C-alpha cells in the first residue's frame, strides 16, 4: 500500500466498556488523510471515548485503531506523536503566561528549546495572539483560551488534530472565528477529527460526518448527500400537541402540501438534525 492511500484514522470494531456501561459498541470507521471529519452525536453517545482511545488516553475493551498506520496500543509512542488533542475542558494553567503554557507542552514532547521558541512565535502569530504571549492565561477571554489550546496542540506538528467540542459554550460570533481557524488548519494540510453536538458546526465545517448514537455508528457520509436522502425542503406541521415533519425535493412541493393543513406550519431547508432524527428517532442537541 502506498503511503498516501493509508487512512489517517482507521477504527476497527472498537468497543469500550466502563464497568456495565457500554460506551462504544463495535465502531468501525475510516478518516481520509486531509479530511475534516465531524463525529456528531448527543451527549453520552461515546464521542469523547473514541477520541481518548485514538489519542492514547484510554484503552479499548475490544477492537483496535490506527492513526497514520500506527496501532494506538501496540505502537502508542509513534501513534501519539501523530496526534494533537484539544480536550473539551479548558485546561491551560491560568497562572502562567500564554507562552509558558506552550513551552511546557513542547518540553513534554521532548522538543528542542530553540525549536519550541520559534514554533511559539509562529503559532501565536497564526492564531492572532502574538501580542498576548506574555499575558497570564487568566486574563484571556474564553475564545482566546480556546485558540491557545489549539496552538498548544499544534506545537509538535501533528498530522491529525483532534478537537473535542471545540466551540462549546462560546458566543456565535466567537464560534465562527474558531471555525475559520479550524478550516485554515485543514487547508494547511492537517487532518481534523472533531466531535460536536452542534448540527450547524458539522454542516458548515465537515467534508464528511458520522452519526453516533448510544455507542453505535448510525451512518457516515457527506453532509449534503445525507440531507438529500430526505429531500431538500422540510414542512413542519403542528397537529394538536405534536409536530410532524414531511420532506420534499422542492420548496414549491412543500408549500403546496402545507396549504392542505389547517394548523400552523413552516417550510425550511432540511438539515442534518432531520437526518439524525429520521435515523435514530432522537435529537442530537
**SS3 annotation, the chain:** CCHHHCCCEEEEEEEEEECCEEEEEEEEEEECCCCEEEEECCCCCCHHHHHHHHCCCCCCCEEEEEECCEECCCCHHHHHHCEEEECCCCCCCCCCEHHHHHHHHHHHCCCCHHHHHHHHHHHHHHCCCHHHCCCEHHHCCHHHHHHHHHHHHHCCCCCEEEEECCCCCCCHHHHHHHHHHHHHHHHCCCEEEEEECCHHHHHHHCCEEEEEECCEEEEEECHHHHHHCCCCEEEEEEECCEEEEEEECCHHHHHHHHCCCCCCEEEEECCHHHHHHHHHCCCCC
Over the Cα atoms of the chain, what is R_g?
21
Residue number, 27 or 178, with CB nearest to ligand ADP: 27
- In whole angstroms, the minimum distance from the beta carbon of 17 to ligand ADP comes to 9
Is 16 or 177 the residue whose CB approaches ligand ADP more closely?
16
Q: Least separation, in Å, of the C-beta of 229 and ligand ADP?
A: 24
**What is the closest distance, in whole angstroms, from the C-beta atom of residue 50 to ligand ADP in the complex?**
7
Q: Exposed, middle or buried, 147 (CB in 10 Å: 0-12/13-18/19+)?
A: buried
User: Considering the complex, what minimum distance in angstroms separates the CB of residue 194 from ligand ADP?
Assistant: 12
CB of 45 to ligand ADP, least distance (A): 4
Which residue, 44 or 128, has its beta carbon nearer to ligand ADP?
Answer: 44
What is the C-alpha separation between 74 and 147, in angstroms, rounded? 32
Q: Footprint of ligand ADP on residues 117-156 (CB under 6 A)?
A: none
**Contact 160/193 with Cβ under 8 angstroms?**
yes
**Of the candidates 18, 169, 187, 238, which one interacts with ligand ADP according to CB under 6 A?**
18
In the bound state with ligand ADP, the residue whose beta carbon lies nearer, of 44 and 169, is: 44
Per CB under 6 A, does 23 bind ligand ADP? yes
Minimum Å distance from CB 212 to ligand ADP? 7
Choice between 127 and 284, CB closer to ligand ADP = 284
Instruction: Kindly state the number of chain residues that form the binding site for ligand ADP, as judged by CB under 6 A.
Output: 11
Q: Which stretch binds ligand ADP (CB under 6 A): 17-25, 147-155, 198-206, 234-242?
A: 17-25
Instruction: Work out how close the CB of 58 gets to ligand ADP at its nearest, in angstroms, rounded to a whole number.
Output: 8
**Site stretch for ligand ADP (CB under 6 A), options 37-45, 75-83, 169-177, 238-246:** 37-45
Q: Show the site string, 39-78: x = touches ligand ADP by CB under 6 A, - = not.
A: --x-xxxxxxx-----------------------------
Interface residues with ligand ADP (CB under 6 A) are: 18, 21, 23, 41, 43-49
Amino acid at each position: 500500500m502506498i503511503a498516501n492511500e493509508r487512512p489517517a484514522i482507521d477504527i476497527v470494531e472498537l468497543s469500550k466498556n466502563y464497568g456495565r456501561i457500554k460506551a462504544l459498541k463495535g465502531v468501525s470507521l475510516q478518516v481520509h488523510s486531509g479530511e475534516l471529519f465531524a463525529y456528531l452525536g448527543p451527549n453520552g453517545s461515546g464521542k469523547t471515548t473514541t477520541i481518548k482511545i485514538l489519542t492514547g488516553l484510554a484503552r479499548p475493551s475490544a477492537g483496535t485503531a490506527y492513526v497514520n498506520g500506527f496501532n494506538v496500543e501496540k505502537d502508542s509512542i509513534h501513534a501519539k506523536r501523530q496526534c494533537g488533542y484539544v480536550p473539551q475542558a479548558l485546561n491551560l494553567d491560568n497562572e502562567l503566561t500564554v507562552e509558558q503554557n506552550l513551552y511546557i507542552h513542547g518540553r513534554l514532547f521532548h522538543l528542542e528549546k530553540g525549536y519550541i521558541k520559534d514554533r511559539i512565535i509562529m503559532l501565536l502569530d497564526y492564531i492572532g495572539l502574538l501580542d498576548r504571549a506574555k499575558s497570564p492565561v487568566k486574563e484571556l477571554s474564553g475564545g482566546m483560551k480556546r485558540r491557545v489550546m489549539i496552538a498548544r496542540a499544534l506545537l509538535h506538528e501533528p498530522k491529525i488534530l483532534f478537537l473535542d467540542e471545540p466551540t462549546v459554550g462560546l458566543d456565535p460570533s466567537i464560534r465562527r472565528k474558531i471555525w475559520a481557524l479550524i478550516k485554515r488548519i485543514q487547508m494547511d494540510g492537517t487532518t481534523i477529527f472533531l466531535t460536536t453536538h452542534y448540527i450547524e458546526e458539522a454542516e458548515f465545517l465537515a467534508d464528511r460526518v458520522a452519526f453516533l448514537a448510544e455507542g453505535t455508528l448510525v451512518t457516515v457520509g457527506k453532509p449534503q448527500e445525507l440531507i438529500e436522502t430526505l429531500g431538500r425542503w422540510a414542512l413542519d406541521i403542528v397537529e394538536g400537541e405534536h409536530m410532524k415533519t414531511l420532506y420534499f425535493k422542492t420548496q414549491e412541493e412543500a408549500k403546496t402540501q402545507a396549504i392542505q393543513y389547517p394548523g400552523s406550519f413552516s417550510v425550511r431547508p432540511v438539515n442534518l438534525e432531520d437526518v439524525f432524527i429520521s435515523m435514530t428517532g432522537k435529537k442530537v442537541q
